[in-house]
Amino acid sequence: MEDARFLGIDYGESRIGLALSDPLKTFSYSYKTIKNDKSLWQNITVIINTKNITKVVLGMPDAKRNKDLVDKILSFKNKIETKFKLEVITWNEEFTSSIAQERIIQSVAKKKKRKDKGLIDRNSAAIILEEYLNSL
C-alpha cells in the first residue's frame, strides 16, 4: 500500500478534476480527470483505496453566484464523508480555473492541448490542494 496522501477535487457537473499530494503533504500534482457519470463512485473508491487517501480537499465556488452547484458539491462532500469516513475540507476555488489556464499556457506548447477541459480541471484540483497544503 502507498503512503497516505490527500486528494484534491475540482467538482464539475460533467467532469471532476483530481490531484494528489505527495506522501509528505508538501506539494500537489494534477492526477487525472474522471467523468461525473454512473461510474463516478466506483472510480472514486478505487482512487481512495489504491492511493491511501486520508483527507479530501474539495473546491467550493462562491455560494451567491453558484447556489445550485454549491448544493451538489455539499451533497458530494456528505457522500464522501459517509461512504469513506474521511475528513473533507472545503476550499475556496475562486480563480483556480484561471490560474490553471495561465499555468497551462506557460507549460504546454500545443495550443490545441491547452484547450483540454480535463487538463484544466485536474490542474484546478492541484491548485486547490496546493493552496490548502500551503495553509498548513
The residue ranges of every structural domain in the chain are: 5-135
Stretch 6-31: mean pLDDT, rounded? 95
pLDDT at residue 1 is higher than 60: no
Under CATH, domain 5-135 is a member of which superfamily?
YqgF/RNase H-like domain (3.30.420.140)
Average per-residue pLDDT for the chain: 87
**According to the model, what pLDDT value does residue 30 have?**
93
**According to the model, what pLDDT value does residue 64 have?**
81
Cell of residue 112, nine digits: 490545441
Q: Which residues pair with 58 in a beta bridge?
A: 9, 90
**According to the model, what pLDDT value does residue 114 have?**
46
pLDDT at residue 17 is higher than 80: yes
- Split at pLDDT 50, 70, 90, the class of 76 is very high
Cell 464539475 appears where?
12
**According to the model, what pLDDT value does residue 66 have?**
81
pLDDT at residue 118 is higher than 80: no
pLDDT above 90 covers a percentage of the chain that reads: 65
**How many CB atoms within 10 Å of residue 62?**
12
Element of type H or E holding 65: none
**According to the model, what pLDDT value does residue 100 have?**
62
Residue, of 54 and 98, whose pLDDT is higher: 54
